[in-house]
Amino acid sequence: MDIPEYKIALIVGAGEGLSGSLARLFSREGIRVALAARSTEKLGALCSETGARAYACDATKAEDVERLFGLVEREIGTPDIVVYNASGRTRGPFLELVPAQVEQTIAISAFGGFLVAQEAAKRMLPNRKGAILFTGASASVKGYAQSAPFAMGKFALRGLAQSMARELSPQGIHIAHFVIDGGIRSKARVEPADRPDSMLDPDAIALSYWNVLQQPRSAWSWELELRPWVEKF
């Protein structure tokens, strides 16, 4: 049973929550980490803690994404794990949605995922090895009222991931999509004491990402739902 091994991870759409947990976990496992975000300002502490390098990148721009991969390749090496975490979240009554914001939500939630995944796949396919992970939400599989743009973006990202899984898995690239169903705990937002673990611990999410990364290719998952034990679904 061959457990895949990885050396370099790139997390796009990095913030402090899930990306922080992933960066710490990867770093503990001896994997070097690159973080990309529209703005790298808030990533300083995480970089110090994990030895990660931060890159500014607007994932909705093809040229930005190309440049990102070029830089990471030069400065750290070719990533064999790429995680796409970015998403936009425009909400509101259907009639009040602003077209330009809807367009931007789809761009950041889905088109950026395509751009990043394509640059990643270009580098992984020659080695027939690597993993591309997408972070979805309950909105990936359920279109909620007053949440059309987010559903559009997240459904599209899932369509991308599923299509890639069918095409690239047989070429050795592990594609996985995570349906995160529930709020993620953060410094700013913690569940009430009488509802312990009713929010997703980002470390617990990262652990499941890691477990999927470690699956031998004879038994891969392409999708995983994660939700707190008390979450309604």
Give the angle subtended at the CA of 146 by the CAs of 145 and 152, to the nearest 5°.
Answer: 85
Q: Does residue number 220 form part of the binding site for a copy of itself (CB under 8 A)?
A: yes
Is residue 200 a contact partner of residue 180, using CB atoms and an 8 Å limit?
yes
Residue 39 Cβ vs a copy of itself, minimum distance, rounded to whole Å: 23
Q: Closest CB to a copy of itself among 54 and 161?
A: 161
Site string for a copy of itself, 29-68 (x = CB under 8 A): ---------------------------------x------
Buried b or exposed e, range 49-63, using 16+ CB within 10 angstroms: ebebbbbebbbbeee
What's the min distance (Å) between Cβ of 52 and a copy of itself? Answer: 21
Residue of 5, 29, 75, 197 that binds a copy of itself (CB under 8 A): 197
Taken as a whole, the chain contains a residue count of: 233
Shortest CA distance to 196 belongs to which of 180, 204, 209?
A: 204
Per DSSP, the three-state class of 54 is strand
Q: Quote the least distance from Cβ 131 to a copy of itself, whole Å.
A: 11
Contact 69, 120 (CB under 8 A): yes
Q: Does 103 bind a copy of itself (CB under 8 A)?
A: yes
Dig out the tokens for 105 from the structure.
């939500």
42, 49, 94, 189: which one binds a copy of itself (CB under 8 A): 94
Residue among 41 and 193 whose Cβ is closer to a copy of itself: 193
